Amino acid sequence: MAIDLSTTIAGVRFPSCFMNAAGALCVTEEELRGLGLSRAGAIVTKSMTIEPRFGNPEPRYYAFPGGSINSMGLPNLGYAAYAKLIPTLKEFGKPVIASVAGLCEPDFVKIATVVNERRPDLIEVNLSCPNIPGKPQIGYDAEDSERVLDQVRGVITVPMGVKLPPYFDPAHHEKMARVIERVGVEFLSLINSVGNGLVVDPERESVAIKPKGGFGGLGGAMIKPVALANVRAFWKLFQGRIPIIGVGGIVNGTDAFEHLLCGASAVQIGTVLVEEGTRAFERLEQELSAVLSRKGYTSPAACRGKLKEL
């Protein structure tokens, strides 16, 4: 029996708990429409900047058996184009999440203000792009993060979420949790790519991608334990009060189930979506349904956060 995989985040209902991760197949109008036509439970836009951008020089994405590395450099149509598209995208009958980036603090506010007027269902503030030369990830600075989130919260009327980079120390989870609490963030997307990894091709004695001397964000299967740890850490810190979208290393239905057990209410897919295309959504739905049925769970919510500790 197929299980109802719908889920609710910040009062918004998603027909499926699987959606694209910002960046994956969501830059152009055609790609965004493709998500609308697919089984994706939402349409998440590419992180948008003020100006349209071509991004970093190619090759800037490389997939290998354990995952992927990218340094795209925020190629996107610019916020005005995405703002204009939002009403059309909403006609697909699933939530539209606008991913807002910015190259400096005032950009976030300007983009959020204009995009909010087009009523996306939610806004995901991206504090964790690792690939712009000379721009550190805002999410690694709690004070900067708080300032940006406070300002964005002040200008938007739809639920605000934040996409965070992975943290590797409980003190950092705790510090960011206090920021999230104070600002009133309504959902968390955890995690962005594991920034500034390096993939080497020993045959060619070369880096795999061109920008930043080969350094880039890691995604795919290899980052799953890092993603699960961050989902779990924030789930525990908020005792489940702030919904979490799990991102990182979801390749099959069991990976999604693990994210739910750690506390995710929904999941986003990046590398596997780029590698497999939108038919990945059907496969993942079938696989997660099968796992939930086998385990006697009737919905994603039924197993949310239920991870056992020894």
Report the C-alpha gap between 159 and 183 in whole angstroms.
12
Structure tokens at 192: 């962005």
Give the interface segment with ligand DHB, choosing from 66-74, 86-94, 139-147, 237-245 (CB under 6 A).
Answer: 66-74
Among 69, 74, 83, 96, binds ligand DHB (CB under 6 A): 74
Report the C-alpha gap between 60 and 73 in whole angstroms.
8
In the bound state with ligand DHB, the residue whose beta carbon lies nearer, of 77 and 129, is 129
Tell me if 108 sits within 8 A of 152, measured CB to CB.
yes
**Contact flag: residue 71 with ligand DHB (CB under 6 A):** yes
- Print the binding letters for residues 38-57 with ligand DHB: x by CB under 6 A, - otherwise: ---------x-------x--
Among 131, 145, 230, 268, binds ligand DHB (CB under 6 A): 131
Among 38, 128, 230, 265, binds ligand DHB (CB under 6 A): 128
Instruction: Verify whether residue 129 is a known catalytic residue.
Output: yes
Contacts 24+ apart (CB under 8 A), 60-66: 60/209, 60/210, 60/211, 60/216, 61/209, 61/274, 62/199, 62/208, 62/209, 63/220, 63/271, 63/274, 63/275, 64/199, 64/208, 66/220, 66/221, 66/222
In one-letter notation, the amino acid at residue 172 is H
DSSP, collapsed to helix, strand or coil, labels residue 84 as helix
Q: Where are the beta strands (DSSP E) in 71-198?
A: 96-100, 122-126, 160-164, 187-190, 194-198
In the bound state with ligand DHB, the residue whose beta carbon lies nearer, of 72 and 160, is 72
In the bound state with ligand DHB, the residue whose beta carbon lies nearer, of 5 and 244, is 244
Which of positions 18-37 make contact with ligand DHB (CB under 6 A)? 23
Rounded to the nearest whole angstrom, what is the least distance from the CB of residue 102 to ligand DHB in the complex?
11
* Residue 126 vs residues 65, 147, 152: alpha-carbon distances, Å: 27, 14, 11
Rounded to the nearest whole angstrom, what is the least distance from the CB of residue 276 to ligand DHB in the complex?
19
Structure tokens at 158: 């739809």
DSSP-derived letter for residue 57 is P
Among 48, 114, 115, 129, binds ligand DHB (CB under 6 A): 129
- Print the binding letters for residues 161-180 with ligand DHB: x by CB under 6 A, - otherwise: --------------------
Report the C-alpha gap between 18 and 256 in whole angstroms.
9
The separation between CA 267 and the C-alpha centre of its own chain, rounded to angstroms, equals 8
Rounded to the nearest whole angstrom, what is the least distance from the CB of residue 58 to ligand DHB in the complex?
12
Rounded to the nearest whole angstrom, what is the least distance from the CB of residue 289 to ligand DHB in the complex?
30
- Print the binding letters for residues 80-109 with ligand DHB: x by CB under 6 A, - otherwise: ---------------------x--------
Instruction: Choose the catalytic residue: 26, 129, 262, 303.
Output: 129
Torsion of CA 42, 305, 288, 273, to 10 degrees: 40
Active site (catalytic) residues: 129
Q: Which residues of the chain form contacts with ligand DHB (CB under 6 A)?
A: 23, 47, 55, 71-74, 101, 126, 128-131, 192-193, 217
